[in-house]
Amino acid sequence: MLSILADCFAQDSVTISKIKALNEKAENFLLKEKSLSSYYTIDNNGISIYESPEHKIKGMHEFYVNVNKIEEFKLFLRNSSFAQQADMYKRGSYDNSVQEKINDSKISVSIPNNSKANTIKNLQGLRIAIDPGHIAGNMEMGNIEKKCLTFKCFGPDGTVDSIAIAEGMITFATAQLLKEKLEREGAEVFMTRTFNNSSAFGITFDEWLKTDYIKTVDSLYKTGKLSLSQKQFFLSSKASKRDKFRVIFKDIELAKRAELINNYKPDFTIIIHYNVDENNTGWTKPAGKNFNMAFVGGAFMKNDLSSPEKRFEFFRLLISDDIEESIELSSAVIKNFEKKLNVKTATVKDALYLMEGCLLTDEPGVYCRNLQLTRYIHGPLVYGETLYQDNIGECVRLNKELDKTKNERVQQVAEAYFQGVLSYVKNKH
């Protein structure tokens, strides 16, 4: 009898500390907008999420996991497909009646059975996804995306550089170089874009306009995402390429990136971006600032729980270790950015969006931010924002070489990501 009581007590104290930790995690990493706490409960019974604060008052959950099933649910998240997870969410609670294959598939570098040290590869057996940010492989596309710099930069010695950089060019070159390095160490690498100027649809934006644009506008209208007058506007000659990109293409293309990555089921994902100074709007002249930072999931703001899809991702980020793992990976990468690029790590005071749109983690330069990709990509990730492209020194360095894989600065960035990945993987074992 006494031992049963002791067992109960031990179990209760484990449960209590688990509940406390989850409540703290929600507050520290997930709730940028504190009032969003009226969408969930974490207590002795388990974790529930609600469609609205009114549904919470009425006790009508949208999804629920019993407190004793949390660990099992984590394994389910790790080992099931996106479709299986969506299906489970629709059912309203986690149950294991569907026999999912549950096996602990934590990152494990399977070192080949070979005694010769020089043949052992550090990343053998790992699946890594890389997302090279944006699309532009030329300045025309860079202009449509509004992710490019064109200005003259006057050097102190009287030299003049005509700067022409599209972010998509340098993210793609960085990804190519990084892919080679990772593969040389035995990793299997998946890229969301496979050629310069390509989108996640496997074609350029111009090709997409020809083949997919009209049917996409149609389906957005049919699903209520566009009004009749919007549909008429976007199918008329009044809609510019920029309008079509911004309103119709951009979000569905980002969704495609997340879908491709989730289908691939990587051990982790690297999302590559280069930054600019937010106060240098228009980017028609160089500026002085230069920092590195990285984003992971979390920091939900007002309206960020407005659909079942978004609420499911909130729930996943709360229960899984994706945020914790992402912080670890991102921190390893950030440290190498600072070391290899000789550029400082951003503090929260260095950009307004870090203060207003992010939550701090314990790791310098790593911030929770609810971006479309940090929300929808499952598993550990690093969303890197290296270097300010419009910095007076960086723009000149990044401007060199037409083939950006030959650009020395881009090569250093790829090496920094690579070293970050190596040290993250090494720390896991």
Closest among 384, 385, 412 to 397, alpha carbons compared: 412
DSSP 3-state assignment of 7?
helix
User: Residue 134 Cβ, how far from Zn ion at the closest point, in Å?
Assistant: 6
For the chain, first and last CA: distance in Å?
A: 42
CB count in 10 Å sphere of residue 339: 12
Among 46, 132, 133, 420, binds Zn ion (CB under 5 A): 133
CA–CA separation, 115 vs 124, rounded Å? 15
* Minimum CB distance to Zn ion smaller for 30 or for 135: 135
384 contributes a contact to Zn ion by CB under 5 A: no
- DSSP character string of 287-301: BS---BEEEES--B-
Q: Quick one: tokens of 349?
A: 């005071």
**Closest approach of Zn ion to the CB of residue 196, in Å:** 16
Q: Which stretch binds Zn ion (CB under 5 A): 107-115, 267-275, 390-398, 407-415?
A: 267-275
CB atoms within 10 A of CB 304: 20
CB nearer to Zn ion: pick between 133 and 266: 133
**CB closer to Zn ion, 220 vs 255:** 255
Q: Which helix (H) or strand (E) holds 272?
A: strand 268-275
Residues near Zn ion (CB under 5 A), total: 2
Nearer to Zn ion, 319 or 387 (CB): 387
Choose the stretch contacting Zn ion; rule: CB under 5 A; options: 61-69, 157-165, 270-278, 417-425. Answer: 270-278
Residue 276 CB, nearest approach to Zn ion (Å): 8
**Contact range with Zn ion by CB under 5 A, out of 88-96, 127-135, 320-328, 389-397:** 127-135
Neighbouring CB atoms inside 10 A of 352's CB total 10
Six token digits for residue 179: 């892919």
Residues 6+ apart with CB under 8 A from 380: 267, 268, 269, 322, 325, 326, 328, 329
Q: How far is the CB of 145 from Zn ion (least distance, A)?
A: 9
For residue 409, CA distances in Å to 97, 396, 421 come to 53, 10, 19
Choose one: 29-37, 132-140, 178-186, 325-333; the region binding Zn ion (CB under 5 A): 132-140
Identify which of residues 133 and 137 has a Cβ nearer to Zn ion in the complex.
Answer: 133
Give the residue with the Cβ less far from Zn ion, 133 or 297: 133
In angstroms, what is the minimal distance from the CB of 385 to Zn ion?
7
Q: Looking at beta carbons, which residue is closest to Zn ion?
A: 273
224-251 CB burial, b ≥16 within 10 A, e <16: eebeeebbeebeeeebeeeebbebbbee
CA distance 8 to 76: 26
Phi/psi for 65 (5° steps) reads -130, 125
CB of 168 to Zn ion, least distance (A): 8
Q: Smallest gap, in angstroms, from Cβ of residue 171 to Zn ion?
A: 7
- Which of residues 262 and 386 has its CB atom nearest to Zn ion in the complex? 386
Taking contact as CB under 5 A, which single stretch among the options 92-100, 130-138, 158-166, 215-223 is the one that binds Zn ion?
Answer: 130-138
Q: Is 273 a binder of Zn ion (CB under 5 A)? A: yes
- Least distance from C-beta 167 to Zn ion, angstroms? 5
Shortest spacing between CB 229 and Zn ion, in angstroms: 32
Q: Which amino acid type is present at position 136?
A: A
Comparing CB distances to Zn ion, the nearer of 76 and 245 is 245
Q: Please report the sign of the dihedral spanned by the C-alpha atoms of residue 372, residue 306, residue 60, residue 98.
A: negative
User: Would you say 295 or 312 has its CB closer to Zn ion?
Assistant: 295
Residues forming contacts to Zn ion in the complex (CB under 5 A) are: 133, 273
